[in-house]
Structure 1
């Protein structure tokens, strides 16, 4: 083999082509039939390839041996002289985006940056792409392959958990003559695929080829949501995100970003997740994925299996945690053994056989349900078999004390006396320099009647009034003046309405920070100016502080409805990450996956200029906000 490679390289260096027949003549390689030299990828020895590979165009033996070689320059024609990829290429677009992002731990600072991704036309002027391509976008443009014209676009729906977004061109006739791409099924192992997109390194469409090498649940890079993903050995580079992955002329997935720095390994979001999102938005909003309400552990340990009386032919998982007020509360008990999910046998390691010889984590069957549907479990309790049905009543993140990453809005923060406070969410945890054990433990807790959101001191802007606290950061604040905190809004209002001389903040181990209230109010403007902070609180808290009094002035009959809103109420919070849509029309699925005329949406751009400094950071007690403490946490 080494001798063959050296001789082949020598001929190539001399600019000469070497044929298999020539190698056969010098006894280095057996004769190869012409059809064999056109294979896309050398087939593995295993004969269980799910789908036969499509023959590649005639090319040199070196080009044929690489399963990730770009195909954009290849000319493949059918007997009538047409390009079979032409229709696919016509439906692939480049997404140009300007994103406005914030510094998580210094959320008064923001920046705008340009980028690009890929997408595919799924119906008329509707485009499917990755959520991370469209998130935090203030300006979007779509450019189709083989065209120079760009069309301005907007976000219709965005599912951050699935890392998928649906865009719409503002020109309703932009792509009315383009044939939308059709969704296929979940591909099989070793099935040939082609990845279309616009990766970095050029402006034209790129096509790479490979095979499916792995199917399992993975943590999506965008939010860390654990969903089914497909690994392929085709090159997927920056800019490919959102582009279609094609097999047998149909879409089998959408390329997504990878958290692994490896060569010739890429990941795609398969069609089961795409179909889930398209079905999810039929009601005009993105609900996400439900949660059944309990956690279970594997039972591969022999001693554990003997203790719970499992026979050699019995398999399952042991329930070790049940969340309060969840669907499982009162129906599932700690010590139950889950043996089946939706009729599928659960193995001792927590997997389920979803195709002959292929296993996937059992939670995949929970992911495939929509909010509002029921899921069925078979359990063993004290040796007795039971069947229970649990409703997936609301998104899983509602059962988390620490909410997932948030997008499309400024992070919530409040500065008092130079101390910076924020609600604890995954963005904050990801930005910390190391995660304290106490904070890490909260990621496994659920909200309760006492607390629905945690408050954390993220940093201190050093000044004379906060001396001795300069080193404090990542502190969980449990109490304000001896009173427990329900959520961040409750914390904010407790400080705002306080009229005592000293405000005392306590952690769980009774560590205290004492702030002179009057001194903090007096010195705050200077501290903000010194550190270049343009506002002492985020825009959502500014809206609370500037909310109008309950008694609204009378409005003339001739006045338009908008006149009833006082000017002070205009700085409303940014669009929540889970709903980037204002009453869109239902979406139809599958062959025409998405409805053609969803209602207009509002995606207000984030401000690009600094906000004016608020001279009085804390309201006097007599004008404290009248809004009662919120019952739930701020929506991420």
Structure 2
């Protein structure tokens, strides 16, 4: 019902906009410059921020004084500015809604509420197909509109912004020259918004476009003021191409299906699917042995589009499966697992890392951004214990861990003499108190045992002691020097 009301409300807004639109969208009146200043936190020294940087992009003007941009444009933003290309008039803006997984965000002016009143809002055009002609709209530095024609070739479900999130993307061919440092470009079909160009390969002359279908899903979800986001199925799966494997699973000769190797707690599949199940159909769409279904427009697409890109959170999905050799049908609701519920945060934007310092020992909650500090090959170079925790979070969740706390580094102080080389150690207890998240570190630090902080780790050196009184004096000195010794929220 909520999905139905959202679609009706969103359609009404579009009809209302269409009724007052005379000339239709254009690069001159429907595209706005977005200038962002951003500053991320330092993950190694979490009490401070890194260097500030700027990003320039283009946004699509929407009804009701709003602007659509990619989420990449507003990551860790400290200041956002909208600029009219034709007059260079500017005003500040704020983020209304952002979904980093879908790579979409909506902005609105803050100081000048009527800033967009002379602009022409886009209508949405979801009707994309191979061979369609699209136009990428951008501007020269002097504000002159530039239109580049590109041709749709295919679509696929692929990584958009975060490597853990995959959504439908449309591929288009044709040379696109980025003008005036634009980071993202609105793409139009028949003067309606067909998508946002999110990446371009100059070598192959191929553009990747976040299509209007995903954009409309996002916009219709926020219209009632309560954004629920795209649902997560929450499984790991394997293809069923091997003949012996297929025989073991009791798959028929011309039958497809994917093998569920793992079910993630807290997501839609939990309590509905089981490891060992074979998914044959989703909402009457047959799934082949590679995990694809036949889309009526794009041909073969990953089945994840059926459970993430098309339905809304709260919608029901139907599946035909094989379980223990028996065929059965399932029906269950799709949900979105909040990022805060993950043992290891998959991403971290717009906030600093949670941390606590005891006498110079720095404790943090493990996150994927921290693992990426070990380089592009972090999956092989990061400490093995941390990688195992990332691959198998259920090992710790079953113990009651909300987050995985580690001692990331040691600041040389009088309290940490002899411990300077210790780093990236998973913490199990402090002063006898089990450490389930960073707040437990703060609580335990106030309860020393016989004047000592007793800190236990999962691996060598297993146990260390730090003088409590000396640690307290060191913390006060550090607070004067670096500003703060904890961030718990």
TM-score (norm 2): 0.84
SS in 1 for 2:91: strand
Aligned partner of 1:514 in structure 2 is: 465
Name the SS of the counterpart of 2:218 in structure 1.
Answer: helix
Work out the CA distance in 2 between the residues paired with 1:311 and 1:153. Answer: 57
CA 1:472–1:198 in structure 2 vs 1: closer, same or farther (change >3 Å)?
Answer: farther
1:296 is the counterpart of 2:237: yes
* Matched position secondary structure for 2:169: strand
Deviations 1:181-217 (A, max 9, x none): 1111253233322212358x77654433322244212
- Number of aligned pairs? 453
2:157 maps to what in 1? 217
Paired residues of 1:142 and 1:152 also in contact (CA < 8 A):
yes
For 1:485, the equivalent position in structure 2 comes to 435
**Shift in CA distance, 526/96, structure 1 to aligned 2, threshold 3 Å:** same
The CA deviation at 1:263 is 5.5
The alignment status of 1:443 with 2:384, answered yes or no, reads no
Matches within 5 A, 1:376-391: 376-391=318-333
Residue 97 of structure 1: how far off its partner (Å): 2.1
Which residue of the partner structure matches residue 253 of structure 1?
195
Deviations 1:603-635 (A, max 9, x none): xxxxxxxxxxxxxxxxxxxxxxxxxxxxxxxxx
Deviation, structure 1 residue 247: 2.2
Contact 2:258 2:288 in 1 (8 A): yes
Which one of the candidate residues 495, 502, 505 is aligned to 2:455? Answer: 505
Q: Does 1:134 align with 2:41?
A: no
Judge which range, 433-442 or 92-101, deviates more.
433-442
Closer, same or farther in 2 for the Cα pair 1:509/1:152, shift >3 Å?
closer
User: Quick check: 510-519 or 392-401, which moved more?
Assistant: 392-401
- What is aligned with 1:226? 166
Whole-Å separation in 1 of the counterparts to 2:44 and 2:148: 39
Judged with a 3 Å threshold, the aligned counterparts in structure 2 of structure 1 residues 283 and 86 are, in CA distance, closer, same or farther, namely closer
Q: 1:312 and 2:261 equivalent?
A: no
Secondary structure, aligned partner of 1:89? helix
Match of 2:446 among 496, 513, 521: 496
Q: Is the 8 A contact 1:453 1:487 kept in 2?
A: yes
Structure 1 residue 253: deviation in Å? 0.7
Provide the C-alpha distance between the structure 2 equivalents of 1:125 and 1:325, rounded to a whole number of angstroms: 37
Q: Give the Å deviation of 1:118.
A: 0.8
For the 8 Å contact 1:342–1:376, the answer to whether it is kept is yes
Alpha-carbon distance change, 386 to 406 in structure 1, aligned in 2, over 3 angstroms: same
Q: Give the Cα separation in 2 of the matches to 1:250 and 1:191.
A: 13
Q: In the alignment, what sits opposite 1:415? A: 357
Cα gap change, 1:396 to 1:218, in 2 (>3 Å)? farther
- 1:490–1:406 CA distance, 2 compared to 1 (3 A): same
Please say which of residues 303-312 and 166-175 is displaced more in the overlay. 166-175
Structure with max Cα Rg: 1
How far apart, CA to CA, are the structure 1 residues paired with 2:342 and 2:470? 37
Residue 269 of structure 1 corresponds to: 210
The counterpart of 2:425, out of the listed 468, 471, 475, is: 475
Rounded Cα–Cα distance in structure 2 between residues aligned with 1:95 and 1:336: 47
Q: 2:101 maps to which residue? A: 161
Distance 1:256 1:388 in 2: 37
1:91 paired to 2:30: yes
CA–CA distance in structure 1, aligned partners of residues 75 and 214 of structure 2: 19
Distance 1:206 1:455, change over 3 A: farther
The whole-number CA distance in structure 2 between the counterparts of 1:536 and 1:324 is 33
Change (3 A) 1:190 1:399: farther
Deviations 1:38-73 (A, max 9, x none): xxxxxxxxxxxxxxxxxxxxxxxxxxxxxxxxxxxx
Q: Displacement, 1:513? A: 3.1
| Partner of residue 185, structure 2 | 243
RMSD: 2.7
Distance 1:486 1:331 in 2: 28
Query: Could you say which residue in structure 2 is the equivalent of 1:535?
Result: 484
Secondary structure class of the residue paired with 1:268: strand
Relative distance call for 1:86 and 1:520 in structure 2 (3 A) is closer
CA shift, 1:92, in A, is: 0.6
Per-residue CA shift, 1:259-281, capped at 9, x if unaligned? x7856333221112111211221
Q: Which residue of structure 2 lines up, in the alignment, with residue 191 of structure 1?
A: 132
Contact (CA 8 Å) 2:426, 2:459: kept in 1 or not? no
Q: More strand by proportion, 1 or 2?
A: 2
Where 1:283 maps in the other structure, the secondary structure is coil
Alpha-carbon contact 1:120-1:242 (below 8 Å) kept: no
Structure 2 distance, partners of 1:327, 1:95, is 36
Query: What is the SS of the residue equivalent to 2:151?
Result: strand
Q: Give unpaired runs (5+ residues) of structure 2.
A: 1-22, 376-380
**TM-score, normalised to structure 1's length?**
0.66
> Which sections of structure 1, spanning at least 5 residues, go unmatched?
1-83, 542-572, 574-636
2:378 corresponds to: none
* Cα distance between partner residues in 2 of 1:295 and 1:265: 30
**1:208 correspondence with 2:159:** no
Separation in structure 2 between the aligned mates of residue 204 and residue 419 of structure 1, nearest angstrom: 56
Distance 1:517 1:318 in 2: 53
TM superposition shift of 1:325:
5.4
Alpha-carbon distance change, 305 to 391 in structure 1, aligned in 2, over 3 angstroms: same
